[in-house]
Structures are given as C-alpha cells and as structure tokens.
Amino acid sequence: MEGASSSQQVDESESAMFFTKEELNKLKSDFETGGVEKVKTLIEKKLVELDKTELNIAVTGETGTGKSTFINAMIGLQNTDPRAAKSGYKETTKEATGYPHPSQSNVRYWDLPGIGSVNFPAGEYFKKMKFEIYDFFIIISADRFKENEGKLAEEIKRLGKKFYFVRTKIDAVFYSMRMEGKKINEEEVLEDIWSECVNNLREVGILTPSVFLISSFIQDQYDFNRLNKTLEDDLPNIKKRIFVLAYPNRSVEIVQQKGRMLQKHIWMLATLSGAVGAVPIPGLSLACDVSILIGAIIHFRKCLCLDEASLQRLANITDKSVEELKAVVKAALLEKIDRHTITRLGWGAAVTVVSAFEVGLYSIPVIGSIFGAGSSFLMTYAILTDALKDLTDSAVRVVKVAYGID
C-alpha cells in the first residue's frame, strides 16, 4: 500500500499463504453474505488442516551410508536417545521405520533399509518400500557413486517424485586426507565430489539433479543449511510451514523464521475468537475467547522449543544444563499457561484502538471488515502477537546460551 512503512507492508501471498485463491474468494463471498459467523467454518477447517497435515520424508540409500545419523540430525536427537533412529556399523534397519519428530508428530522421517543388501536386493526393494506414500526422497551416499544409487534415482523419477542426493560424511573425507598428510584445498575437493555426483546422476537420466555435500555432525558447514532451505522452498505452503516448525533450534535465524511463520495464522485465531463469543479476562478492558488464547500460546511455546522436553533435548545436545537454558526465559512462560498468566504478563493490555493497517493485515481479503466484528478479535490478535514476541525473544536467548552466541 502506498505510503506504508516497510514494517507495515505485508505481501498478500505471504499473509494468506495457507489459502488457495478459490478459498480466499469464498471467504470474501461468505463474509459478504453472512458476516464473521459464516467465515468461521472455513477458517476452522483450515486450522484443522494446518494441525493434521502430515509430511513423510523417505531417507534411502545403501547400508552404512549414515541414513540414521542424518535423520537424527534433522529431528534434533542424539543417536543415544531412545527415540532416535538406530545406527551402527552393521545393517540395523530391517524394514521401513518411521521416526516422528519429537515435538511435531505430523513430521515423520522414514529410514528405509539399505538397497543392495542381502536382505533387500535391488530387484525386490522397489516393490516392498511403497515409494508412493512419501512426499519426497533423500538418497544418502557416503562414498563413490554406486549402481544401486542410480537405480534408486531412476525409480523415484519414474514415480514422478522429487528426490535430493546427499553425500554424507564430508568431514571424514577431509579427516582422512589430513591423516594421510595430503595438502588440502577444500573448495576444490568439494567441487570434485559434487561434480562426480552430478555427472553420474546425469548418466542415468537425471538432467538437473539436486546434490548436497554434508556432515550430519557439523551442521553449520558444507551444504547442510542449503539442503534445508531447498527442501523448504520446494514444499507447498502448508507442508512448508510444518517443515519449518520442525527445525531444531540451531540458530537465531531459525527461531526468528519460526516466529514469522506462526505470526501468519494469528489472524485466523482472532477471527474465530470474534465469532464464537467473548469471555472476560480480569484486568483487561477488552474480552477474548480464553480457550483459543491458551491453546495457541501452548502451541507457540512447543514450536519454539520452550517446553520442558525440548529444553532437555537441547541441553543434551549442547552439554548445557536445563537450568542454564531456563534462566534466560521469563519464568511465567515456563509455567502453566492460563488466564492469570496472560493477565500477569500484560499481553495486549496496552491495546485501545487497533486498525487493520496498523497490524499489517490490510492485504488479506475480508480482514478489514472482520476488524469491525468487535473487541474480541482485536484483543485476541494483540495478546497472541505479544505472547509470540515474548516467546520468540526467549527462544533466541536460549539458543544464544546453548551455542555460545554473542
């Protein structure tokens, strides 16, 4: 909108990213004919879809390439965690095994048995693995390109599925070269490995392969972050959301990205609050639907890894104590979330008059009109925005302490 500040400008496709064009048109039509009450059904349906949509990621390759270790790195678990994918020096995966994300259970990584092993020769592998149920595939390799990896790529392409070729254990390559006393130019070595993978995939008919060189133990080097960004960008909006929220909190940027993603559907929750009626909160001049508030704040806390289990996992990974991590979080954010917590923290208390323009929602169809639905919408939006900011700021401080970031 002309004249708006950069902080207020909101891209419509971003703000309404979870709705199709047809759904947005229906929102507008329903509101014009029946007001907030009529748009409630579509928004409730969309929120259920956000909660229930599943993401199934297949991790496949030859035995011993580090598939299990990769999965554990992606979901933020140590290999010794009882819920972690089993890893070892011998073949440990006898059947396709799903590993749900520890806090986002609708995200599941599937560790497929190694192709080409005695138990799963290539000819039988494709029949037994039910490739069609997965959203995309990650082919893990740890050495020279193998024939079976080419067969995997061909079969996945035939099924019309996306796949990403990941060469793991790059750190081990450089370790071996140093132990042999070789002079190392890391950039040249990485280029040679990458080119070999690309050329071999092209030979089996994959003209534009996606190839990444990573170490599952050193996620801030090589292509680990680029892999995550590519997977995120290639997913449709709703699955992109759950993939982002399943990131382990390894950096300030990841936490902030989660915060922006969660902000995108606060307006939907506020609309429901405006439609289902208001329950007064003592100490606030306006009213909200308390159950919507509490459920959303607990969900935000879990997504930002501030719940007890997530803090313990981070402590285990970084060798920090849980007490050190909790020390930088507002105490009330770690306690039971109820109406008294909301009042005590003063979320939304300063709001008197809010406009659609001021909160940056003017670009979403219908929202300007919904704002006139009453104080419940306004206060719910304000409280959830304040709560999300507090939670995001606390999660940033936790990451800084955990990883020693200044």
* Final residue before a domain boundary, out of 201, 216, 245: 245
Give residue 148's pLDDT band: very low, low, confident or very high (50, 70, 90): confident
Q: Is residue 396 located within the same domain as residue 326? A: yes
Cβ atoms of residues 297 and 340 within 8 Å: no
Q: How far is CA 387 from CA 16, 22, 36, 244, 342, in A?
A: 21, 32, 24, 20, 8
Pick from 280, 258, 293, 298: which is nearest to 392 by CA?
A: 258
Cβ atoms of residues 57 and 110 within 8 Å: yes
Q: Is residue 195 located within the same domain as residue 260? A: no
Q: Is residue 45 located within the same domain as residue 72? A: no
Average pLDDT value for the chain = 81
Pick from 93, 86, 143: which is nearest to 115 by CA?
A: 93
* pLDDT at 373 > cutoff 70: no
Domain membership of residue 33 (yes or no) is yes
When pLDDT is averaged across residues 378-382 and rounded to a whole number, the result is 80
* The predicted structure's pLDDT at residue 286: 44
Rounded to 5 degrees, what angle do the CA atoms 73, 74, 80 make?
Answer: 40
pTM over 0.75: yes
Q: Is residue 387 located within the same domain as residue 309? A: yes
pLDDT digits (tens, 9 = 90+) for 212-224: 999 999 988 999 9
pLDDT digits (tens, 9 = 90+) for 307-330: 999 999 999 888 899 999 999 999
Mean pLDDT: which of 4-8, 172-176, 392-396 is highest?
392-396
* β-sheet bridge partners, residue 384: none
Site of tokens 């719910």? 380
* The predicted structure's pLDDT at residue 29: 80
Q: Is residue 24 located within the same domain as residue 163? A: no
125-129, 264-268, 349-353, 381-385: least confident range: 349-353
* pLDDT at 56 > cutoff 60: yes
* The predicted structure's pLDDT at residue 123: 61
When pLDDT is averaged across residues 181-199 and rounded to a whole number, the result is 92
Q: Which domain holds residue 366?
A: 12-51+251-403
- CA 243 to the chain's CA centroid: 3
> Which run of H or of E encompasses 58?
strand 55-61
406 vs 91, residue with greater confidence: 406
Give residue 304's pLDDT band: very low, low, confident or very high (50, 70, 90): very high
The token duo for 86 is 């089993």
Buried b (16+ CB within 10 A) or exposed e, 209-220: bbbbbbbbeebe
Residues in the chain: 406
Domain membership of residue 206 (yes or no) is yes
Q: Is residue 352 located within the same domain as residue 336? A: yes
Q: Is residue 324 located within the same domain as residue 373? A: yes
> Which run of H or of E encompasses 395?
helix 375-403
One-letter amino acid at 325 equals L
* β-sheet bridge partners, residue 58: 110, 137
Give the span between the Cα atoms of 330 and 315, in whole angstroms.
18
Give the span between the Cα atoms of 361 and 1, in whole angstroms.
11
Q: Is residue 79 located within the same domain as residue 196? A: yes
Q: Where are the beta strands (DSSP E) in 180-235?
A: 211-213
* The predicted structure's pLDDT at residue 252: 95
139 vs 34, residue with greater confidence: 139
* Final residue before a domain boundary, out of 218, 245, 272: 245
* The predicted structure's pLDDT at residue 5: 33
* Final residue before a domain boundary, out of 229, 245, 261: 245
Q: Look at the chain and report how many structural domains it folds into.
A: 2
Pick from 282, 270, 258: which is nearest to 398 by CA?
A: 258
Give the span between the Cα atoms of 314 and 310, in whole angstroms.
6
pLDDT digits (tens, 9 = 90+) for 327-372: 999 989 999 998 888 888 888 765 544 444 444 444 455 555 554 4
Site of tokens 């313990």? 312
Cβ atoms of residues 96 and 112 within 8 Å: yes
pLDDT digits (tens, 9 = 90+) for 73-113: 999 988 888 888 887 655 555 678 999 999 888 999 999 88
Give residue 400's pLDDT band: very low, low, confident or very high (50, 70, 90): very high
Q: Is residue 77 located within the same domain as residue 206? A: yes
Number of CB atoms found within 10 A of residue 49's CB: 11
